[in-house]
Amino acid sequence: MATRIERNPFGTPRAMDRRVEAAIGAQLRSCAGSRRRIARRLRELEEERDLESVLESRAALVESLGFMAGAVVNRRLPSVPVSWTASLVRLAATSWLPMAAVLRRMGLRTSREIEIERVALRLMLGDLERLPTALGSHRLASSGIRVVRP
């Protein structure tokens, strides 16, 4: 029996993870047989922002704006960045982040899910020498291939 993509580190529901897997599989099947579509999809994946980078950038933005607003507008406004930071501490301690489910519903994927699709597309192109060896490409590649199968 084929294994699924490993559960994402943010504790989102399995149904949401399965939808992402299905979307990856559908994307790979739609690109199959067309080098042009595969190349275009690889360019799109280079531009795609992953969930982790969005969380990091938004955390920095919320904290900066909250502290500036607290200094200028109202002293109680820094509670917003404090609560955001508390959520990130919870993520580090428990691997669960409530806002991750919202961001995943908006279509954001983990860096691992993006990399699985990228490796599977490169395998479809026969571009084996460019696969990242440091990232455990054999494991990623086998996961990506399993997603293609219906």
pLDDT of the chain, 150 residues: tens digit per residue: 334 455 556 667 788 888 889 999 999 999 988 999 999 999 999 999 998 888 878 777 777 777 777 777 777 666 667 777 777 777 777 767 777 788 888 888 988 899 999 999 998 888 765 555 544 544 544 555 455 444
Q: Cα-atom radius of gyration of the chain, to the nearest Å? A: 19
Residues counted in the chain: 150
For the whole model, what pTM was predicted? 0.69
pLDDT of res. 39: 93
- Specify the DSSP class assigned to residue 12: -
Other Cβ atoms closer than 10 A to 125: 14
- Residue type for position 95: S
Report, in this order, helix, strand and coil percent for the chain, each rounded to 5. 70, 0, 30
Q: How would you label 95-109 residue by residue, b for 16+ Cβ within 10 Å and e otherwise?
A: eebeebeebbeeebb
Secondary structure (DSSP) of 96-144: --HHHHHHHHTT---HHHHHHHHHHHHHHHT-GGGS-TTTTHHHHHHHH
pLDDT of res. 68: 76
- Specify the DSSP class assigned to residue 75: T
pLDDT of res. 137: 47
Nearest CA to 120 among 85, 150, 149? 149
